[in-house]
Amino acid sequence: MGVLLIPLFRVALPRAAGALVAAALVASCATSTEAPRAAASVRNPSVAADVNVERVILQAYRAIGDRHLFEPDFRTISTETYRGFASVDPAMSLETSDGAFTVKRDGREVMRRNTPGDPADGRAWGGMLAELMAGSLDVSPALQQTDRQALIREAMTATAKQLDRASRYADPDEARDNRFQRDGGGGVGITVERTEDKKIMIRAVQDGSPAGKAGLQVGDQILSIDGDAMVDRTLNDVVSRLRGAVGAPVSITVLRGAPAVELTLGMKRSRIVPTTVVYERRGDVALIHLSGFNSATTDNLKAAMDKARAEIGKDMAGVIIDMRSNRGGLLDQAQTVSELFIGNGTIFSTQGRHPESRRTYKSSNGGKTADLPIVVLMNGGSASAAEIVAAALQDRGRAVVVGSTSYGKGTVQTVVRLANEGELILTWSRLQAPSGYTWNELGVLPNICTSKITDPGKLSTTSVDSGQGTLMRWHALRNPTPQEIADLRKVCPPGDSSPQRDIEIATRLLHDRNLYSHAVQAATQQVARQ
């Protein structure tokens, strides 16, 4: 079964405004579960006749019952699922009692079904709900005339809201984009954005991609694709046109430079995995921007480290891993990225209701960079897989964390690919750092809080030691109350900015080995005292 650490785009952390990867979150993470065909199929052949609402609900309920982190209360979930499904027809209503669910239209009973005795039996509740939905479709013209994908979206969105903040439903279009971000697909290798004046601009060109080889450049304005004008098209429309089958040709017309020149460039799509690793040399320091965790992240990070060693040589002071606003990604990549820097021992563990969700992940490869000083940059937008890496490196004494408290998403999701090609992204386990604490809701506390350091040049052992007592309390908590969480997060409030001061502090630490060692030892000593 595949699992991932869901990047929080479209949930709680905003994606970069107006930008999408046109390179075109566990390798092969989509776990498809087949459900028996419901008794009734779609009623109106003219409206998405190939989409069976009831089958999707059955499949989703089975998955929730089997895999969700907490034992579900399907009585409450089913009530909200039905109300979401029927929301397009105000005449439809659902009345619930201890023993039955009754569907009415304009106050008249349409169908009544006895409720299952076990509120955690997803199969039984899903079957009952499928029958109520089928009966509702029979009597409601509004439901019959509504696109089935829209009905599923309303029903599944209402379902996910009853579970936890990280579980959610992705409709087929979003699910395809999610799969592309995780595993790649056919594309040209550019990132595009839509400006305020509705121009489609190229923001980044991936090295070695079809776009790069054809001569597309950052700053080019896309006018048309295969002769079709892209002016006033949505960003999703443009991205959809750029993606396609590997090997399929595409021509892109752009406007470049001043005075503007119109160019039409042809290329063939190749398999593209969006870039998540960017290396930048800062004197004797390797600055690596790590923006996400997809199927190519570890390999790209290895390549970046090799390039840094070749360029900087034996005098390299250390590495800054910038994971500010990194929303996360694939669980296996969080593990393998951590293994690059950690020798033998525990990286993280997971605990959940399903037996397969309880695991300990360890490194056993010796760590290729086990002796290299590391500073990790985090902010309030750093979540999920980024928090795994930061917590592991901090707990194991392999890095100093600088910045602000992270987002606090310490759960793992599994992806259920549904019969309508959408996805149910379902929380199924909770993460624990090597020391045993969980950062869910709490976040990872940096060793050095940027907001408390006004002059990086005056960073000292005293300023490093100032937060160690809080770090000990932070790591000692096992089941913090909401008030404890709120109070602790005030110590170094999560921020959404990426100030240059973070990099200056990180560089200062790497250039002062005594200060760096003191920061690492102070943190590990606090963990050891728990």
- Residue whose tokens read 């985090």: 378
Distance between CA 170 and CA 3 in Å, rounded? 16
Give alpha helix (H) positions in 360-420.
385-395
Indicate the pTM of the whole model: 0.81
Domains 185-272 and 277-528 share a fold: no
Please check whether residue 439 is in contact with residue 408, taking contact to mean a CB–CB distance below 8 angstroms.
yes
Domain coordinates of the chain in residue numbers? Answer: 71-162, 185-272, 277-528
- Strands (DSSP E) along 188-299, which ranges? 190-194, 200-205, 221-225, 228-229, 249-256, 261-268, 270-272, 277-282, 285-290
Burial class (CB in 10 A: 0-12, 13-18, 19+), 481: exposed
DSSP label of 227: T
CA torsion sign, 475 to 481 to 483 to 489?
positive
The β-bridge partners of 321 are 288, 376
Distance between CA 380 and CA 502 in Å, rounded? 13
- Residue type for position 283: G
At residue 419, the 3 state secondary structure works out as: coil
Please check whether residue 170 is in contact with residue 8, taking contact to mean a CB–CB distance below 8 angstroms.
no
Q: What DSSP element (H or E) covers 486?
A: helix 482-489
Q: Which of 89, 121, 124 is nearest to 103 (CA)?
A: 89
Backbone angles phi, psi at 115, to 5 degrees: -85, 145
Q: How many CA atoms lie within 13 A of 193 on its CB side?
A: 13
Distance between CA 84 and CA 88 in Å, rounded? 8
Burial class (CB in 10 A: 0-12, 13-18, 19+), 354: middle
State which CATH number among 2.30.42.10, 3.30.1330.30, 3.40.50.300, 3.40.50.10300 fits the domain covering 185-272. 2.30.42.10
Q: What is the pLDDT along the chain (530 residues), one digit of tens a residue?
A: 445 544 433 333 333 333 333 332 222 222 233 333 233 333 333 344 467 999 999 999 999 999 999 999 999 999 999 999 999 999 999 999 989 999 999 999 999 999 999 999 999 999 999 999 999 999 999 999 999 999 999 999 999 999 998 999 999 989 988 888 888 889 999 989 988 888 999 998 988 899 999 999 999 999 999 999 998 888 889 998 999 999 999 999 999 998 999 999 999 999 988 889 999 999 999 999 999 999 899 999 999 999 999 999 999 999 999 999 999 999 999 999 999 999 888 999 999 999 999 999 998 765 556 579 999 999 999 999 999 999 999 999 999 999 999 999 999 999 999 999 999 999 999 999 998 899 999 999 999 999 888 888 888 887 777 666 778 888 777 788 899 899 999 999 998 888 899 999 999 999 999 999 988 887 666 554 44
Q: The tokens of 416 are what?
A: 């259920």
Compute how many other C-beta atoms are within 10 angstroms of the C-beta atom of residue 249.
11
- Residue type for position 200: I
Catalytic residues: 384, 395, 409
State which CATH number among 1.10.150.240, 3.40.50.620, 3.30.230.70, 3.90.226.10 fits the domain covering 277-528. 3.90.226.10
Q: The tokens of 340 are what?
A: 């690059």
Give the largest Cα separation in the chain, rounded: 81
Q: Which of 264, 183, 185 is nearest to 223 (CA)?
A: 264
